[in-house]
């Protein structure tokens, strides 16, 4: 492995608790070099899972947080001006294809559709990436794999992946871990006791029932960990929940009242 590739290796085992049989499934998908899509609400463990799998498979991981201003050049690369003239700079996707990394495009639906299509030739038998501006066709390294994350909750018909993109991927469904596992994760990640973690998870369960009734999405595992971390730093639980759970998720006064009520039920 080149120095560049080893720079993207994950040295320490990421903490990851298996929820179902996703580890074996992903291993099989990687062995087949199947492009994969990890689907589920934000903050439920998708990115952590990919970090864990990259560590487990001993592959470099290149992650890209996608956004609507992202252009194809941000993924593929561009010519930059320097004192000697112009110099080509590989983008993260090109780099991953060259060094045989797992390339994780987080929230790919945020990117514009003309950006998304650049991944197509990498996801079928061609496994190539044309660098039009440079006049080069990159053949992906045999170990390269493309992974995208996708949150089905956010999608409107205006902003969705095209079928022609979706149908290039195998998919794993993710959701918040079941109660006991989520308590264990929140306790581990934030350092609070399982008793406190249990209360946080109970608040989250209430909020998840409000999804579609005024909340776009329930409280995520990530948010519970933030609340736990504040409690661990000595902040009173009710304040910690207000800062980490209630205020970020909604501005609607009625919804805030409903969530505050859930917090005071448990703390």
192 sits near ligand ADP (criterion: CB under 6 A): no
C-alpha–C-alpha distance, residues 116 and 168, integer Å: 12
Q: Please choose, from the candidates 231, 176, 232, the residue with its C-alpha nearest in 3D space to the C-alpha of residue 204.
A: 176
Under the binding rule (CB under 6 A), the answer on residue 190 touching ligand ADP is no
20 vs 68, beta carbon nearer ligand ADP: 20
Residue 17 in the binding site for ligand ADP (CB under 6 A): yes
What pairs with residue 61 in β-bridges? 102
Q: Which stretch binds ligand ADP (CB under 6 A): 14-22, 61-69, 72-80, 86-94?
A: 14-22
204 to 223, contacts with ligand ADP by CB under 6 A? 221-222
Interactions with ligand ADP, residue window 164-183 (CB under 6 A)? 177
Instruction: State the Cα–Cα distance between residues 103 and 35, nearest whole angstrom.
Output: 10
Helix and strand numbers, DSSP H then E, in the chain: 13, 9
Shortest Cβ distance from residue 31 to ligand ADP (Å)? 22
Q: Which is nearer to ligand ADP, 129 or 148 (CB)?
A: 148
Task: Extract the tokens encoding 100.
Answer: 């045989």
Residue 92 in the binding site for ligand ADP (CB under 6 A):
no
Q: Which is nearer to ligand ADP, 139 or 159 (CB)?
A: 159
Angle between helices 221-232 and 194-209 (to 10 degrees): 140
Work out whether 47 is an interface residue with ligand ADP (CB under 6 A).
Answer: yes
Query: Which of 5, 44, 196, 240 contacts ligand ADP by CB under 6 A?
Result: 44
CB proximity list for 246: less than 8 A, separation 6 or greater: 256, 259, 260, 263
- Run of H or E including 95: helix 92-99
Applying CB under 6 A, which residues contact ligand ADP?
Answer: 15-17, 19, 42-48, 177, 185, 189, 221-222, 225
């Amino acid at each position: 492995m080149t120095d560049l590739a080893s720079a993207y290796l994950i040295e320490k085992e990421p903490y990851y608790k298996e929820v179902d049989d996703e580890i074996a499934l992903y291993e099989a998908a990687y062995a087949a070099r199947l492009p994969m899509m990890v689907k589920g609400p934000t903050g439920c463990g998708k990115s952590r899972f990919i970090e864990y799998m990259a560590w487990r498979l001993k592959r470099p991981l290149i992650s890209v947080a996608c956004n609507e201003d992202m252009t194809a050049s941000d993924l593929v690369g561009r010519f930059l001006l320097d004192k000697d003239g112009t110099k080509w700079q590989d983008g993260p996707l090109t780099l991953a294809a060259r060094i045989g990394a797992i390339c994780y495009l987080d929230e790919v639906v945020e990117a514009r559709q003309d950006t998304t299509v650049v991944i197509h030739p990498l996801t079928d038998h061609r496994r190539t990436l044309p660098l039009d501006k440079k006049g080069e066709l990159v053949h992906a390294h045999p170990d390269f794999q493309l992974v995208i994350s996708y949150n089905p909750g956010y999608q409107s018909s205006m902003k969705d992946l095209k079928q022609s993109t979706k149908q290039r991927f195998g998919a794993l469904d993710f959701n918040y871990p079941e109660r006991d596992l989520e308590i264990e994760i929140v306790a581990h990640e934030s350092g609070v006791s399982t008793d406190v973690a249990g209360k946080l998870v109970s608040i989250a369960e209430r909020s998840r029932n409000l999804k579609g009734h005024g909340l776009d999405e329930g409280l995520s595992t990530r948010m519970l960990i933030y609340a736990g971390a504040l409690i661990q730093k000595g902040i009173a639980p009710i304040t910690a929940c207000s800062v980490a759970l209630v205020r970020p998720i909604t501005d609607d006064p009625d919804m805030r009242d409903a969530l505050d009520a859930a917090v005071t039920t448990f703390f």
